[in-house]
């Protein structure tokens, strides 16, 4: 709750400039009223006081409105921006503006007080005749009450000002005005000694009503400010909660998208993230795809030995380290065309050329197949580095690669699995299972393609491939 209150006080007040302009308009109205009121005064001093207060207000406006003018100095614009973002500075300028308006409304009361004091001193030495006294606003102190109320309205103009601070300022104004009203009515007593007791009681009632009206106005302004502040804070909390919920939804969506991109290839994930898609099944046929199966030879036997002595968990940690290092290779820019399909036990399956845009853009381009072979070689080097860390191990990678047409798709709804099917996949799997540890075995069809890319291939001979040799006979294979 304290953090929310602190955030509310530090929020930029976009209405502060408008509030200050409204306060300045009230200042001009008070100045016009004070100039038109018939009060005994020295006009050159009055003009000087008006000019000083007006200059002070213009200085406030210049500091607050500087960012609205493009040609103002950059230092002044930065200072203006700091004012709008600093709550304490805004409160200080608000108090200064209220003080200027209050001072303007108080001028005539001060003049009446000083003038009446001089007249009383004079009446002690000279005969004072009230019949010769001109009619001025000093004889009706209720008029000054209206000027004071207008100056107190300035507190209500600044909506973001704290209600407690408003109450403190208003109480201070009431105390000062009460003093001057008391003095003003006292002067009327002194000037009218021949008034009857009923006339004096009327003065007391007028004085009491004036103070009571100011007290009622203070309560009204404080109540309105308190209600507005409570509503504004509640609205701020609602907006803050809404922003937090929206941000949480965005974070959750980004997290889900990240998980989806980790499970599925990028173009497949984008397909499932489309809002207007109607089909629930995703499938895509490809004509030129490279498929790789890479098995860690002897790992299953190694796991069985470790499981006997209850070290199966350590064995899984080692397998996780190997697979994670293989996955890191896919993050390199050179292997962007390669997609990991799945892992089955200690067998790693990957494919190249599954991006639809590259299939349609480049015809008979087997560059991705050379990348797949280089990826297999990088996997062998990675496994050698892991063997060096674990000196007791001497694992080797057995790799089989084939190329040709496949069908790719996503199976499952709540737990989607991206996979590929076809004779090419079966041939690549047989290249792995019939291969030799530490070697990359490929069929003869790949030899001509890889030879053009600078790879050296060694003839292994013709071998029996289950599922293929029954129909086409033995398959000639090569080692890379």
Point out the residues that are catalytic. Answer: 430, 466
| Integer CA distances (angstroms), 175 to 138, 152, 156, 179, 354, in order | 19, 13, 19, 6, 84
For 473, which DSSP code? -
| Integer CA distances (angstroms), 130 to 90, 123, 133, 417, 429, in order | 49, 11, 5, 106, 122
Rounded to whole angstroms, the Cα distance separating 93 from 39 reads 31
3-state DSSP assignment of residue 396: strand
Of the candidates 51, 185, 172, the one whose C-alpha atom is nearest the C-alpha of residue 112 is 185
Of the candidates 20, 161, 164, the one whose C-alpha atom is nearest the C-alpha of residue 101 is 20
Of the candidates 399, 434, 403, 432, the one whose C-alpha atom is nearest the C-alpha of residue 420 is 403
Asked if 339 and 352 touch (Cβ cutoff 8 Å), the reply is yes
Go through 213-240 and write b for each residue having 16 or more CB atoms within 10 A of its CB, e for each that does not.
ebeebbeebbeebeeebeeeeeeeeeee
Asked if 370 and 453 touch (Cβ cutoff 8 Å), the reply is yes
Rounded to whole angstroms, the Cα distance separating 234 from 334 reads 55
Of the candidates 420, 440, 421, 428, the one whose C-alpha atom is nearest the C-alpha of residue 297 is 440
| Tokens encoding 184 | 């003003």
Give the HSE-up count for residue 425: Cα atoms under 13 Å, Cβ half-sphere: 14
404: left (phi over 0), alpha (psi -120 to 50) or beta: left
| Integer CA distances (angstroms), 321 to 303, 398, 446, in order | 15, 18, 31
| Tokens encoding 256 | 């889900």
Torsion sign across C-alpha atoms 329, 335, 339, 343: negative
């Amino acid at each position: 709750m304290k953090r929310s209150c602190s955030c509310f006080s530090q929020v930029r007040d976009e209405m502060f400039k408008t509030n200050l302009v409204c306060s300045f308009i009230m200042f001009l109205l008070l100045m016009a009223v004070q100039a038109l009121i018939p009060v005994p005064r020295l006009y050159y001093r009055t003009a000087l006081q008006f000019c000083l207060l007006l200059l002070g207000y213009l200085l406030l406006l210049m500091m607050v409105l500087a960012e609205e003018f493009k040609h103002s100095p950059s230092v002044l614009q930065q200072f203006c921006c700091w004012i709008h973002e600093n709550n304490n500075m805004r409160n200080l300028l608000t108090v200064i503006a209220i003080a200027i308006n209050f001072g303007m409304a108080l001028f005539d009361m001060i003049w009446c007080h000083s003038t009446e004091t001089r007249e009383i001193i004079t009446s002690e030495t000279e005969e004072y005749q009230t019949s010769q006294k001109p009619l001025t606003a000093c004889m009706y102190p209720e008029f000054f009450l209206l000027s004071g109320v207008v100056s107190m309205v300035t507190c209500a103009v600044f909506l973001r000002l704290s209600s407690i601070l408003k109450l403190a300022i208003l109480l201070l104004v009431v105390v000062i005005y009460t003093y001057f009203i008391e003095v003003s009515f006292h002067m009327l007593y002194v000037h009218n000694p021949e008034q009857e007791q009923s006339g004096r009681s009327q003065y007391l009632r007028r004085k009491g009503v004036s103070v009571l009206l100011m007290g009622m106005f203070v309560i009204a302004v404080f109540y309105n400010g308190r209600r507005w502040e409570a509503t504004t804070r509640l609205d701020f909390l609602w907006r803050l909660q809404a922003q937090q919920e929206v941000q949480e939804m965005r974070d959750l969506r980004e997290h889900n998208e990240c998980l989806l991109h980790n499970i599925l290839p990028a173009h497949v994930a984008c397909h499932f993230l489309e809002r207007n898609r109607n089909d629930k099944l995703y499938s895509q046929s490809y004509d030129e795809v490279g498929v790789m199966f890479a098995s860690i030879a002897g790992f299953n036997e190694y796991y069985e030995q470790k499981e006997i002595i209850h070290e199966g968990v350590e064995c899984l940690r080692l397998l996780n380290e190997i697979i994670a290092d293989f996955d890191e290779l896919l993050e390199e820019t050179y292997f962007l065309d390669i997609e990991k399909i799945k892992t089955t036990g200690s067998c790693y399956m990957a494919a190249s050329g599954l991006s639809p845009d590259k299939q349609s853009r480049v015809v008979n381009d087997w560059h991705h197949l050379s990348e797949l072979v280089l990826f297999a070689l990088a996997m062998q080097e990675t496994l050698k580095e892991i063997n060096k860390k674990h000196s007791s191990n001497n694992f080797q990678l057995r790799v089989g690669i084939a190329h040709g047409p496949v069908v790719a798709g996503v199976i499952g709804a709540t737990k989607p699995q991206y996979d590929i099917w076809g004779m090419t996949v079966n041939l690549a799997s047989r290249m792995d299972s019939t291969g030799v540890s530490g070697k990359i075995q490929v069929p003869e069809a790949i030899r001509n393609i890889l030879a053009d890319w600078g790879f050296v291939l060694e003839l292994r001979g013709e071998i029996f491939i289950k599922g293929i040799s029954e129909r086409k006979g033995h398959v000639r294979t090569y080692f890379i």
